[in-house]
Amino acid sequence: MENLQLSQRTGEKPAQYRSVWDRLNDICDEHGELPAIIAATGSRSSTFGERISYSELRRCACRLARHLEQSRGIGCGSRIATLLPIGTDGALIFWAATKLRATLVPINKALRKAEQEFNATLQDLKPDLVIVDTDDNIPNLPSPVNVLSVGELWAQAELIGDDYRSASIPNDAEGSSSANATDPAICFLTSGTSSTPKACLHSQLILGSAASAHIQSRCLQPNDRLCQQMPQFHAYGFSMSLAFWLAGATVVFPGPSFDASASAEAMDKYACTTIAAVPTMIHALVNQIATSTAKPCSLKSIDIAGSVVHQDVLATCAESLGAKKVAPSYGMTECPSALATCDKDMGRAVPVMDEIAASGYPTAGVTAKICAVGSREAVPIGEGGVLHLSGPIVISGYVGDREPDTFYQDAFGHWIITGDQAKMDTAGRVYIVGRYKDLIISGGENISPLKVERVLDSCEGVNKTHVVGLPDEVEGEIVAAVVERSEQAPANAQVLQNAVTESLGSNSTPRVVLDLEHDLHQTQVPQTASGKVKKNELRQLVADVLRARGDSQGEDVTTAGTAERLKNLWGQVLYRDPADLSLDASLEKYVDSLSSIRFCSLVGRQMKKKITVRDLTEHVTVAAQAQLLDSREATTEQSRKTKRTGPPDVNDACFGGSHERLHECTESTKEHLQPLGLDWQSDVQDVIPVNPWGQVLLKRLRPQSWNHRQSYYAPNVDADALERALRSTLEQHDMLRTMAVDLQNEQQYYIIIRAGSQWFKQMIRTGFRVQTPEDLKQLHLNDPEMDFAAFPGPLFRLSVAAVDAGGSGIVVNGNHSCFDALSIEMFLEDLDMMLAKEREQDSTSSLQRHSFKAYADALSSSRESGETQALTKQAASRLQGISSTNSSLWPRKRAPEWFKGNDAEWCHSDGRPGQPDERPKLNGPETAGVYGISRSVDIPDLRDRTTFAPPVLFKAALALFNMIQTSSSQALLCQFEAGRHWPATDHNSSEESEVPDPMNIAGPTYQAVISRSELRPDDTVKTFLQRVQDEQENLSSEALAPLDAIKTELRKDTKSGQGDADMVDDLLRRQVFNWLPPARRDFTEVETVQVTSRSDVGILWNFRAESGKVTVNASYDDAQLKDAEVSKAIDVMFRLSRYLVDQLDGGVKLWRVLEGYSVDTDFLVYE
């Protein structure tokens, strides 16, 4: 009995196999006089008349089969390719091929326009014969392909005029077929929306099962008539035709291709009872019938597939087309007729979930299950995931074994991972929501292009909208919409954006709205041969237009003063000449989340008015922003939020009502506070759970473990003023006033200490003096008492020094668990403002920052959420088996542990004291590796030649570098993710009155994830880059999956689980890829002197894109790598990045290139 608590359902038991030819014989014997085909004038062959009966169909197919066998040598296993319009010709050739047990390959004629893809398809499939519609349309095909026009074929087979009605055939020609269930019957090509079309061989079993699914679910009868407006090369359309033939019903061909007028006329003239259509066809038919004299009145049912079906389409079918039944269904070229609406359901309203109509139940023999991304286990009923299908309708794989990961085998059968988003209800119906590959991941949130398109399509003046994601260095992607507008009522971009904001929220609002004709200069969007939108090409068109933009649209005089000030502020934030910024041009192509926050801060500070990040997404031009600000009053300083006077009590999220846990935390904290002259009651402000990644950072294997040393120069104030500014700034940055404690069960807590003089005595050290700002780099460098911040704390310490040359400076020592790149930037921004106040003797209060407390509590409680658990399983599934890939690890381990910089007083991970001679420096006594080696490469031309974002390109290059060094087909890296999005939990219980903007949280949200890049035998540059980009989307989501939970999930595998979990620990410290935001250059009071990372890693690759360049700093453990090895590694990595760009559109298999590089000493780091 099935467990309907999980999203898995199996259809009814399938009927016993019989070949389709044998089933046709049954129909001919019983209903030979009935019409099998009715062809309207446009689809009628010059050879055949309007109607062909079943007896004539069989007779003609047998005559044609005999001719092909005798004159062309076509037989069992042969392949016949056709490039034909909708109509009789293609139908008869199919039945002849079926009789011969040959394989039909129907090809869309439009594919010939893509000559490279067309020729590649023929080379892969190697047809024995190609049949085209007329002599004029014979394509220029490579020899030795045999080409024949259909007119020639009929003449040679002596099927001219009425000859087919009386054609003589051998007595045994109409006999039964010996075709096996596994024999290939027909080969369809996928639509090719994102790559070259893939060939899908349908066996006799698949063909018959798909047809039977329609017959059973629709209860087809011989008196039914199908208006067939779908082409033969479309698997859905073909399976519908075959279903009607095997039911003894009639297929009506209204014309050579879809034409709403011809379809409406045929439905009326020939009393069609059924049409098969995709939603776009439905809308076209409705518009046609509304203005036509043809009014079909015999229509009983409409079968809809090929796309997500919305509830309004159902209403349209019933109200405008008069259909008594509406039957959504679902299938793919790889698995036709997988889901269907049962006939018993068609008499009542089709179930709807979130405005999406159910696509039906699994058909006979088919099992459907909904799984989390990367998982093969069914999710609970009602949860979304990826649709997996198994059963007799699933092909074994693509011809040529392309994309083998699309299919898998388990104890329950052979499965395909469809890539479609779906949900299942309690009755077992499946709802198709959209395509996962079309998802836009922006700021860590999944945005459905389909939902955005639905809102925009409903707006006045819009005919059709196409939504794509554009790469963005910080947010991952931004939403862009291409609109096909109505001439009668052109839609305004701002109106469209507002409509999306109101319906779906600002996260889904398109940052870019372009007109198809006016902006892209296109009459239609790029489409495949079968009419599906090629979103990759559309994305490239949009990116090209945005790069080319820069023209001025004029100025609004009423806001010119404000606008000019805003232009200057944007110039500071974006490091651009304000004169290059137009008042009315969209800023989207320049602005990211970080720059938006900086801009809002500058507006508040310098213009005394409030503008938010959301305002910027809704007002995308300088002129619009100026108009908004002119409508607002100047802001006044708000009083600070009142904080709790005592420490947290038992009801705090950390303790969850547990008095035992509160007591344990209190006592442990007191042990660390008393030596510092502090106590629990007076000095503890908050307690925050340390997340698993933070626990890694807190592990003290040496005093400088995971430490940063940063130095800053304040040229305009003395040391006393600098100390005062620091104290004021630190009041807003709770996580920088931190200690940490251990509790039982490996739980750790941050203890936030209140800002007070006693604490600042421990945290801020004063009385130092240096001669020049550069001397700050040497101030107590590697001093065993001064130059670190470590567990238990303070985790952030500062040394203030007077500078003899003028001004003052600070040296920062911080454990990386209490800050990240963005939060330390906020600290510097606030310090810069406080120093300006000190110099100007301004007593106003500073800007408010969002506390880290609410975020950390939410992150901790989200562990139990369904979304986090799904992400955990997804990550574990992706990493399963990594312990068997030791050969893929780089750099090699030459000494114990991984430490950048000074390793004095180090110990092993198991606690054993380390000895100096265990970690000899490979570059002499100096530890240059901690500072690293930096190189830059120009990127303007990269942006012009690829839509892949720089982080994807350089991560791919780094992965290939690793593969070359290890002679492996995969690369394993640790990667830092910003994590600036809220966990999946209820935030209303937090202290904040509303959910804070995660980009403005003063604390460390960043997380570590493990990247696993694989090179497959058929990978070209483009397919490899696409997979790296796809993995990045998963990694951004997985950043909130707890590391310890991932390792626990891995350990469930009794064979490799423990080894896999241990490998995760190793990878976290061996090699790290990190993409940093652009460095701040707009501070007026603070100058950066030094930023040194002392991470416990083997090598840290810090990338940053700014000023038209990508810069990488590779810092490393001197006991593991030599200077020359790292220098060569950077050179090789940059060479590979250039190769990826140069070969982006090439078809060279990457593994062949890497195979050569792996033995080329120019590409090998180790001697």
Please give the pLDDT value at position 641: 44
For residue 250, the tally of other CB atoms under 10 A from its CB is: 26
Query: What single-letter amino acid sits at 689?
Result: P
The encoded tokens of residue 1086 equal: 């603070």
Structure tokens, 942: 């990269």
Q: Taking each helix axis from N to C terminus, what angle separates 866-879 and 1021-1038, rounded to the nearest 10 degrees?
A: 140
User: Which contacts of 506-510 are long-range, i.e. CB under 8 A and separated by 24 or more positions?
Assistant: 506/614, 506/617, 506/618, 507/442, 507/443, 507/445, 507/447, 508/447, 508/448, 508/451, 508/452, 508/479, 509/479, 509/617, 509/618, 510/452, 510/456, 510/467, 510/479, 510/480, 510/481
Which residue in the block uniquely carries the two structure tokens 């039911």? 247
- Distance, in Å, from the CA atom of 166 to the CA atom of 429, rounded to the nearest integer, reads 49
The angle subtended at Cα 528 by Cα 522 and Cα 532, nearest 5°, is: 90
CA gap 733, 749 in Å, rounded = 17
State both tokens at 710: 């940063």
Per-block average pLDDT, block size 10, for the chain (1167 residues)?
71 88 93 93 70 92 92 92 92 94 90 75 88 69 76 82 54 63 90 72 93 88 93 90 96 90 90 87 80 76 80 79 85 92 65 86 94 87 92 92 86 90 91 80 69 88 88 62 76 80 78 86 78 80 72 31 82 67 79 67 72 80 89 57 71 85 92 92 92 94 94 94 93 94 87 92 94 94 92 95 94 95 91 81 58 86 84 93 89 95 92 92 83 82 64 93 92 90 54 55 92 91 90 85 93 92 95 86 86 95 82 95 93 90 82 78 78
In the chain, % helix, strand, coil (3-state, to 5) comes to 40, 20, 40
* Edge-to-edge strand ranges of the sheet holding 51-53: 51-53, 35-39, 250-253, 225-227, 274-277, 301-304, 325-332, 335-340, 361-362
The answer to whether the CB of 653 falls within 8 A of the CB of 594 is no
Q: Is there a contact between 198 and 416 (Cβ–Cβ < 8 Å)?
A: no
Q: What is the pLDDT of residue 530?
A: 57
* C-alpha distance from residue 489 to each of 286, 400, 524 (Å): 21, 50, 19
How far apart (Å, rounded) are the C-alpha atoms in residues 672 and 679?
9
| pLDDT at position 69 | 92
Write down how long the chain is.
1167
The pLDDT assigned to 610 comes to 76
The full set of domains in the chain, from first to last, is: 1-17+210-438 (3.40.50.12780), 20-180 (3.40.50.12780), 439-548 (3.30.300.30), 557-630 (1.10.1200.10), 659-849 (3.30.559.10), 860-897+928-1083+1091-1163 (3.30.559.30)
Residue-level pLDDT at 988: 38
Q: What is the pLDDT of residue 766?
A: 94
pLDDT at 540: 84
pLDDT tens-digit readout, 946-992: 667 788 899 999 999 999 999 899 999 999 988 877 776 544 333 33
8 A C-beta contact, residue 184 and residue 203:
yes
- Residue 94: the pLDDT is 96
Structure tokens at 1133: 């990595």
pLDDT at 466: 92
Residue 1059's φ and ψ, nearest 5 degrees, are -65, -40
Q: Which residues pair with 467 in a beta bridge?
A: 481
